[in-house]
């Protein structure tokens, strides 16, 4: 009986694992291999160059700028996004005033707010980037027009053209377009927490902040940990690439003086703009290492005894 069970499991997993290995694992292996060559990406011919690409990468000032920006995103973006999402979700589910028929309830109109917060998820990231590019326009954008309307004519920043502001403008867009997803995710998790826990805590004199840190956050910790890892991967992947590629200005693409260049964008530029596929795969290997380190740190720091209810 046991022999038949294991044979069934092996037979069931063979095809999915083969597909995963072909389309996920094999490209990683190829990338690592090509990082030791001088392949241009335009010709099938290449030669082995050893660690030359890695040495070049370590001496590349733009790479270090890109790495710095990506690390900033991977540290701050999950922190800001998840903090806002937890606050909004708590207010929408638990933080409202007591009502006659319920001691625990969200703020009034919470169903409407959930739709509003989730709305950016309906839009394509490319559309979001274009909309904010128009909003950041220093001459006719909504932000500077709003400042002018309230009498701040002298305060007209060049949002995406200023090296000190451009990266933070991109950061704000990424927060805006991702926080709604986690509001809905955390709201679903909070809805599964028994209301009796909150009612007992309130009867004992606990305030809303105490119930959040003593009840909500511990029981929601697994979801928060998964969200942190997912948010960090987004910050190192397609989300940051798309927003920077579409929004930022400059002859080099990636903001003035590479002030918004991130690792995914730099990989793209070297591979498809400069025809240096081997060097691009080398940067991609560095990006893979950063991503794995981030996930490992998050999973290690977030490890704790599982709570059940």
Provide the mean pLDDT of the chain: 83
CA–CA gap between residue 243 and residue 126 (Å, rounded): 7
Give the tens place of pLDDT for each residue, 261-286: 899 999 988 888 888 889 999 999 99
CA–CA gap between residue 206 and residue 10 (Å, rounded): 53
59-301 CATH, one of 1.10.3720.10, 1.10.290.10, 3.30.460.10, 2.30.30.60:
1.10.3720.10
**Residue 74: is its pLDDT beyond 80?**
yes
Q: Which residues contact 296 (CB under 8 A, 6 or more apart)?
A: none
Give the tens place of pLDDT for each residue, 75-122: 899 999 999 999 888 888 876 566 555 556 666 777 787 788 888 888
Give the tens place of pLDDT for each residue, 165-215: 889 999 999 999 889 889 888 888 888 888 788 778 777 777 778 888 888
What is the pLDDT, as a whole number, of residue 7?
76
> 91-109 in b/e burial notation, b at 16+ Cβ within 10 A?
bbbbbbeeeeeeebbbeee
The percent of residues above 70 in pLDDT, for the chain, comes to 90
CA–CA gap between residue 85 and residue 79 (Å, rounded): 10
């Amino acid at each position: 009986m046991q022999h038949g069970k294991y044979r069934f499991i092996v037979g069931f997993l063979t095809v999915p694992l083969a597909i995963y290995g072909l389309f996920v694992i094999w490209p990683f292996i190829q990338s690592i291999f090509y990082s030791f060559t001088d392949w241009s990406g335009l010709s099938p011919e290449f030669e082995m160059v050893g660690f030359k690409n890695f040495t070049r990468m370590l001496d590349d000032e733009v790479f270090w700028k890109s790495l710095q920006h990506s690390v900033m995103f991977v540290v701050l973006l999950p922190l800001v996004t998840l903090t806002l999402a937890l606050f909004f979700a708590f207010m929408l589910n638990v933080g409202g005033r007591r009502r006659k028929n319920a001691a625990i309830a969200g703020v009034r109109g919470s169903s409407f707010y959930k739709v509003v917060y989730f709305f950016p998820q309906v839009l394509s990231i490319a559309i979001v980037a274009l909309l904010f590019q128009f909003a950041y326009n220093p001459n006719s954008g909504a932000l500077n027009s709003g400042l002018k309307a309230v009498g701040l004519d002298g305060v007209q920043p060049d949002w995406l053209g200023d090296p000190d502001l451009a990266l933070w403008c991109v950061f704000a867009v990424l927060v805006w377009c991702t926080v709604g997803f986690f509001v809905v995710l955390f709201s679903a998790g909070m809805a599964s927490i028994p209301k009796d826990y909150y009612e007992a805590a309130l009867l004992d004199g606990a305030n809303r902040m105490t119930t959040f840190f003593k009840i909500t956050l511990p029981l929601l910790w697994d979801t928060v940990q998964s969200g942190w890892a997912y948010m960090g991967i987004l910050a190192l992947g397609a989300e940051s690439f798309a927003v920077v590629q579409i929004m930022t200005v400059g002859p080099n693409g990636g903001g003035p003086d590479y002030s918004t260049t991130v690792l995914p964008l730099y990989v793209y530029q070297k591979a498809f703009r400069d025809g240096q596929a081997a060097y691009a795969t080398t940067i991609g290997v560095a990006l893979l290492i950063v991503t794995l380190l981030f996930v490992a740190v998050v999973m290690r720091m977030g490890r704790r005894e599982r709570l059940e209810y």
